[in-house]
Amino acid sequence: MRVVLATRNRHKLEELRRILAAYDVELTSLEEFPDVPDVAETGATFADNAILKAQAVASATGLVAVADDSGLSVDALNGMPGVLSARWSGRHGDDLANLELVLAQVADVPDERRGAAFVCAAAACGPDRRVVLAEGRVEGTLLRGPRGSNGFGYDPIFVPIGETRTTAEMSAEEKDAISHRGLAFRALAPKIGDLLSL
């Protein structure tokens, strides 16, 4: 089953290929479809944005498209950066600037109130625009400074509940097993076939 991932983000493609390796899915990305324009993430929620991207890419390619929107929800920031996680600092995809801004914004927050969660909504859409959706959420806390060199985004400052390491200190396989994206896409994978069989 050939499926296109609605992103040009190399990190996401690698991560999703690992997560979906156990399923009968040949995953490609928008790098193979240079004429498909980027989809504006104008939704109010992670699910809204995932559905927008999946529908647009399915329509443009004629393939089943999968998309996600994910980010960091910080308790002390009333759930922000949320859907703005990738562009929190004002520059889309500037991981270091985004991470440093969040750290600055919670600098005075005591350790016991530094709760946060990684959240992911994953959507798949068939060429007929039918959509299936799944979500994943991992609770944790924020450190006061980055640790680890694996992962990307806010991984160096996020410690999942029950762990002592950040997600940037975990191996790719360890992170995939517990991550918000892993949870969402493992829940979504069995539903993708439904889009082709109905």
pLDDT in tens, 84-135: 999 999 888 789 999 999 999 999 999 999 999 999 999 999 988 899 999 9
Where does the pLDDT of residue 70 fall: very low under 50, low under 70, confident under 90, or very high at 90 and above?
A: very high
pLDDT above 60 (res 198): no
What average pLDDT does range 3-27 have in this prediction?
Answer: 84
Confidence (pLDDT) at 148:
95
Confidence (pLDDT) at 122:
96
User: How many other C-beta atoms lie within 10 A of the C-beta of residue 18?
Assistant: 14
What is the domain class of 2-197 according to CATH? alpha beta
User: How many other C-beta atoms lie within 10 A of the C-beta of residue 108?
Assistant: 7
* 107 φ, ψ (degrees, to nearest 5): -55, -35
Closest CA to 54 of 148, 155, 133: 133
Catalytic residue among 69, 95, 155, 176: 69
Q: What ranges do the domains of the chain cover? A: 2-197
Q: What is the pTM of this model?
A: 0.89
Is residue 95 annotated as part of the catalytic site, yes or no? no
Render 114-156 in DSSP notation, one character per residue: -EEEEEEEEEEE-TT--EEEEEEEEEEEE-SS---SSS-TTGG
